[in-house]
Structure 1
Amino acid sequence: MDLLELFFIALGSAVVAYYAVKLLLFSRMFFPQLCFPLSKTFFTSVGEWAVVTGASEGIGRAYAFALAERGMNVVIMSRTKETLDQVAKEIGETTGQIVKVMVTDFINPNIFSELKDQLKDLNIGVLVNNVGVLPSFIPCKFLESEELDKTITDVINCNVKTMAKMCKMILPGMENRGKGVILNISSGIASIPFPLYTLYAASKVFVERFSQGLQAEYSDKGITIQTVAPFGVSTRMAGYQQINIVTLSPEDFVKNSLQYLRAGDKTNGSVCHIFLGWLLQSIPLRVLYTECVLHSLQDYVKKKTAQTASRAALENGRNT
């Protein structure tokens, strides 16, 4: 057996071993409670309070409930006081935990000093940076966005600046105590450069890279910083799509995603969404970027939007 033959045998063995390890690591995602266990007191052990932005509905509301159910007091933030008050009442009555309401519009860049004053005396163990804006639910090209200058500013202020500012505000306390959890909510579509959602997807890429950098900087301080990148979740931002194996309810998604808290610096939050992330990255971009595919995406979202509006109108008719 000559050296060249030995080289190819060794190379083939290395490739097989590499993919065997990757398969083994992926298989852990099917058993999160076994492979990434959390104690029942984990969340209360990192701090007394959780702060959740964009908590009046959807994923943010679900995180606020889930963390309160795990024994944490909760600060919920959004711009609609009436809705926040209702959420606070429901959480308090359901869990018995204390809920503080902070009404704020994260599109406004000058709110953070006031928030800092209100949060400074709290022992904050968990921060969920959930608030975000989608420029347009119906996908469109960048230059076709309505009020483009305002849209650019709003997306940067809400999706990018708010996350960085909230981390700047709360991370020092976690570092001093040597414990804490920060969950930054991204999106599955940030897995690739995503046309027709270009600005939104790009803002969520920032969320991922920022979070991964912070985790590398502060993991030795006992702090967990993780990007959570869901695909389909039935929220207002997603047009309240029907719940199925791909599109989860906010409550089910949050329940699943918390099981992956120790699974690394990024998770898609559920086995199905993890598979969708792999699939999206496996499809050649030149296929995804064809005019046919992009038009099909637009038509699909428009159709789903019309179906949702029709169902809502029907339900309203039944309730009147």
Structure 2
Amino acid sequence: MNFFLETLKVIVLVVYYLLESLVFFVVPGRKKNVSGEIVLITGAGSGIGRLLALKFASLGATVVLWDINQEGLNCTVRLAREKGAGRVHSYVCDCSKRQDVYRLADQVKKEVGDVSILINNAGIVIGKRFLDSPDSLIEKTMEVNTMAHFWTYKAFLPAMIAANHGHLVSIASGAGLCGTSQASDYCASKFAAIGFAESIDMEMRALRKTGVKTTIVCPYVINTGMFDGVKSKWPRMVPVLDPEYVAERIITAVRQNQEVLLIPRLAHLLCFLKSFLPVKVLVLLLDYFGLIEIMNTFKGRPKKE
């Protein structure tokens, strides 16, 4: 009897959650208040990290900025304070170095307090074919894009668990959902980041820490300079994303406790098709959308930045 009752319960809940998801898709849920939260953002010296810092600060959050670039950090702090944000703290941090992360995490806890929203945004890309990629740069990609998430979670998750309150945000990539040419290390690092974030989410659920939320963000190419040179084959259908738009979507996803954010929505269709289509058909579609050789024109951010 337990088997049948359990099965019935699962069927009812599946239907309920599907209907709930449909309702929230049509009528967005209530946004939680982030005023007073301590938000730590890695890679906050430029791009999406900077925009997220400015937007969280404008919502009344205390923002803690980490970046390896002191000049970029100073610019973000100045912009935040020009907008009237008073609680802004910045630290130069090489997120690829575990001891650097742990040391600065302890400093943040003493000087600012326990981080309640952690946004792992720092990332790098080489953009070379696998055999042309130096070993040292491959290691660096994995250290920044993946391993840094382990160290920041280790540093800040315990306090979230103790309070049963917090939010873990992983800025991953569409490249973590489907591999592409000239990005083997980048794709591997983003696949790993997604798997890691999903696993931690399951751990929080198993521990009944329902107050610790997780959001995984998988965007297409964003026009921040990181992927300079990359062009969309069909700009009207799959445009290179505007940074302001992406940052606003991320803020909304966090405030609505959305677990997964794929940008653009077309990515949902590609993920669905990938799950059952023959590989040759999938390759045909990826080629049609220009995703297989999208890195051929890659230049990357100028060195001076």
Interval of TM-score (by shorter of Structure 1 and Structure 2): 0.7 to 0.9
Letter in 2 for 1:197: A
For 1:266, which of 245, 254, 260 is the aligned residue?
A: 260
2:94 counterpart SS class = coil
Residue equivalent to 2:201: 215
Residue equivalent to 1:156: 142
Which is greater in Rg? 1
Could you tell me how far 1:22 is from its partner in structure 2?
Answer: 10
For 1:143, which of 131, 136, 160 is the aligned residue?
A: 131
Separation in 1, partners of 2:39, 2:227: 25
Residue equivalent to 1:201: 187
TM-score, normalization by structure 1: 0.74
1:151 counterpart SS class = helix
Query: How has the CA–CA distance of structure 1 residues 240 and 125 changed in structure 2, closer, same or farther, with 3 Å as cutoff?
Result: farther
Task: Determine which structure has the larger helix proportion and give its number.
Answer: 1
Alignment of 1:164-175 (within 5 A): 164-175=150-161
Render the CA deviation track for 1:207-244: whole Å, top value 9, x for unaligned. Answer: 11111111111143211012111113111212176897
Task: Structure 2: state its 5+ residue gaps.
Answer: 1-14
Separation in 1, partners of 2:40, 2:215: 15
Query: How has the CA–CA distance of structure 1 residues 247 and 126 changed in structure 2, closer, same or farther, with 3 Å as cutoff?
Result: same
Is residue 127 from structure 1 mapped to residue 118 from structure 2 by the alignment?
yes
Alignment of 1:49-60 (within 5 A): 49-60=38-49
Alignment of 1:97-136 (within 5 A): 97-121=86-110, 122-136=113-127
Is residue 192 from structure 1 mapped to residue 178 from structure 2 by the alignment?
yes
Separation in 2, partners of 1:171, 1:250: 28
Residue equivalent to 1:248: 241
Residue equivalent to 2:7: none
Separation in 1, partners of 2:257, 2:269: 15
Do the aligned residues in 1 keep the contact of 2:102 with 2:151 (CA within 8 Å)?
no
Separation in 1, partners of 2:271, 2:257: 15
Letter in 2 for 1:212: E
Separation in 2, partners of 1:304, 1:162: 25
Query: How has the CA–CA distance of structure 1 residues 278 and 69 changed in structure 2, closer, same or farther, with 3 Å as cutoff?
Result: farther
Letter in 2 for 1:166: T
Do the aligned residues in 2 keep the contact of 1:192 with 1:281 (CA within 8 Å)?
no
2:253 counterpart SS class = coil
Residue equivalent to 1:257: 250
Could you tell me how far 1:144 is from its partner in structure 2?
Answer: 2.1
Could you tell me how far 1:23 is from its partner in structure 2?
Answer: 8.6
Separation in 1, partners of 2:18, 2:158: 38
Alpha-carbon RMSD: 3.4
Residue equivalent to 1:16: none
Is residue 231 from structure 1 mapped to residue 231 from structure 2 by the alignment?
no
Could you tell me how far 1:282 is from its partner in structure 2?
Answer: 7.0
Render the CA deviation track for 1:16-70: whole Å, top value 9, x for unaligned. Answer: xxxx999967755753xx333213x2x13xx531100001111111111121111
Query: How has the CA–CA distance of structure 1 residues 187 and 284 changed in structure 2, closer, same or farther, with 3 Å as cutoff?
Result: farther
Separation in 1, partners of 2:297, 2:80: 35
1:120 counterpart SS class = helix
Is residue 286 from structure 1 mapped to residue 277 from structure 2 by the alignment?
no
1:155 counterpart SS class = helix
2:116 counterpart SS class = strand
TM-score, normalization by structure 2: 0.78
Identity %: 24
Separation in 2, partners of 1:178, 1:23: 26
Query: How has the CA–CA distance of structure 1 residues 173 and 268 changed in structure 2, closer, same or farther, with 3 Å as cutoff?
Result: same
Separation in 1, partners of 2:76, 2:56: 13
